[in-house]
A and B are shown apart, each in its own frame.
Chain A
Amino acid sequence: MALVYDNSSIECMDADISSRKIVRSSFMQIKNIGKCMVYKCSRNSEATVTVELNPKKAKHNANSSLDKDSTVKGENILVAINCMKSLKIYLTNKTGTHKAQNFSTGHYTYAQITKQIPSTPRLIPPLEIIPPPDEDEEKKQIE
């Protein structure tokens, strides 16, 4: 299933990223994930889950899609990968007019649409990024 609205996201252990332009952005500390290499994909981008999380629980956004073959498609996508290695990006022929830049992440990946495709109508109310509940706090509440 393809997710197309702003703030739609996927979380997985391995993802295939494809875009017309992929740029390294920064090295950031993100809550509940850790130290991540952040890539910014623009000009028509998509990210697809190839290996699911084990255990299958969202770490950053409770609204993330976790299933295999879930895809986020948008104009701009932010990809955060929890690894210290720089990943190689390779070119492929995608359409009759344009090539595409691709890479596989091979590590924990969080991919979020930051700008949806312009022709897509906006979702009302917009999707929110909700941090998943803390397991320790849940146990304390039960006790």
Chain B
Amino acid sequence: MSKVSYLVQKNTNSIIAKNHFRPLEDSSGTYGTFMVATKENDIMHCTVGALTPSIKTWFTNFNQPVLSERLYLTAIDNLLKKVEYLQLSSQFDQELITEEEFSFELETYEDRYLIKANDNFSPEEFDLVITIANKLKHKQFSTDELSEIFSIPLELVDDFVFNYEVKNIGLL
């Protein structure tokens, strides 16, 4: 039978540190709550707290490495597809393959050449795209290049850029 012990300081009704959280009995009620549970040597510790903006940011950043990895893999995959497509086009231009062979290759091995857009692309992912693009200091990306490399739907890139500028530069 595992024991559960709460790290709740019942006297003050606040959970982790007074500096970071409002007391739970505070009736302004604008914050949610979080719970973290750990188990060690058959003892489970459960921590509950108020979900202040700083703690919420800390939790959402857990997801960032996963999103970053997904974006890097998408970019590498799309750039490789572009290279394969340009190699095929180059063969056609040098008349090493016929038009029929070119079309057949595209239709049969579509996954090797076709860049697909991600219809569920989110503003959080776009923030990461901008972070990545800003680190490549020798290159200035246009919206269609971002769309091609990171599978952002072509018709939505401008909307993402506008929302990013509003959020980070404060145009409105």
Contact = CB atoms under 8 A, between A and B. Distances in A.
> Chain A interface: which size bin?
20 to 34
Q: Which label, helix, strand, loop or mixed, suits the secondary structure of the A interface?
A: strand
- B interface bracket (residues with beta carbon within 8 Å of A): 20 to 34
A91 interface: no
B82 A26 contact: yes
A129 interface: yes
- Most B C-beta atoms less than 10 A away, residue of A28, A60, A78: A28
A28 B148 contact: yes
Interface in B100-127: 102-103, 106-107, 110, 113-117, 119
Q: Secondary structure of the B side of the interface?
A: helix
A67 to B, nearest CB: 22
Given A40-B144, A78-B144, A131-B155, A86 B82 contact: no
Contact of B102 (A76, A85, A129): A85
A31 B155 contact: yes
B97 to A, nearest CB: 10
A31 B148 contact: no
A85 B114 contact: no
B16 interface: no
A26 B81 contact: yes
Interface of A: 7, 24-31, 35, 38, 40, 60-61, 76, 78, 84-86, 114-115, 126, 128-129, 131
Given A26-B82, A29-B117, A30-B154, 20 more contacts: A24-B89, A25-B82, A25-B148, A26-B148, A27-B85, A27-B106, A28-B117, A28-B148, A29-B114, A31-B117, A35-B110, A40-B144, A76-B142, A84-B103, A84-B107, A85-B102, A85-B103, A86-B89, A86-B92, A129-B154
